Amino acid sequence: MTLNKQRVLIVGGTSGFGLEIARQALQAGAQVHLIGHAAEHVQAACTTLAAPDRVTGTALDAQDHDQLTAFFTAQLQFDHIVSMLGGAMGGGFLDNSVAAIRKTIEDKFFANLQLAQLASQHLALHGSLIMTSGAGGRPDNASGAIVGNQAINTLVAGLAVEMGPDHRVNAVAPTWTPTGLWRGLSADQLSAQTAAASQGNPLKRVATPAEVASAYVYLMQNQFVTGQVLHVDGGVDLL
């Protein structure tokens, strides 16, 4: 199915997976709107995509209920809404504070729940909502992130029933991939993490952002997929 002239909203679309999803959606003919936290990042992403007639953007705090409500109220309906909300976390349950674990879960699950409640009123007929989960890691070394991802998976299953048959809800679950999310790592640290992640799956490499992004575009295009978490992880859980 083509995305020609369909309206795609990417929440967190100014870098990494989000920016690559935007690029691929444009190639498929979509009209893309990006949400980012900083105006300069939104402008830079729109400039990078180099499609001024089909790319627009808004700077806002996507975890702020009032800002999101005002945004959706001012917009036409979207055919697909993609959420990149949520972050990563290292460490187990004992070596992290309750506050840190709570914030990770808040940023992952509750931020997406709020987005879903608002977005569900602004999806076109047969439109889709696609969230971001995660694969790899263990509860003892990614505590709050694992809980958040499992909560996203449960949310997707529930929403797919609640929002059907008019809308679809899915998620993509990538494993560790070198993107701008890890900009705080030094070159040596990034190289070491890439090597370690590569050894942890049968394919012995990490994904490219384009490979991960293509899963989101697939979920937009396939009208008979809902309630699913599509793992793009090189088989990390097989070893």
Q: In the CATH hierarchy, which top-level class contains the domain 9-95+110-141+161-184+212-238?
A: alpha beta
Identify the pLDDT of residue 198.
Answer: 95
- Within 14-167, strands assigned E span 31-36, 55-59, 78-83, 123-132
Question: Using 50, 70 and 90 to split pLDDT, how confident is the model at 57?
Answer: very high
Other Cβ atoms less than 10 A from the Cβ of 2: the count is 9
What ranges in 28-142 are assigned the alpha helix state H? 39-49, 65-73, 98-105, 111-119
Higher pLDDT, 189 or 130: 130
CB contact set of 113 (below 8 Å; sequence gap of 6+): 155
Q: Give the predicted TM-score (pTM) of the model.
A: 0.95
Question: Residue 185's pLDDT is what?
Answer: 80
pLDDT band at 132 (very low <50, low <70, confident <90, very high): very high
What pLDDT score was predicted for residue 68?
97
State residue 135's pLDDT score. Answer: 95
Secondary structure class of 231 (helix, strand, coil): strand
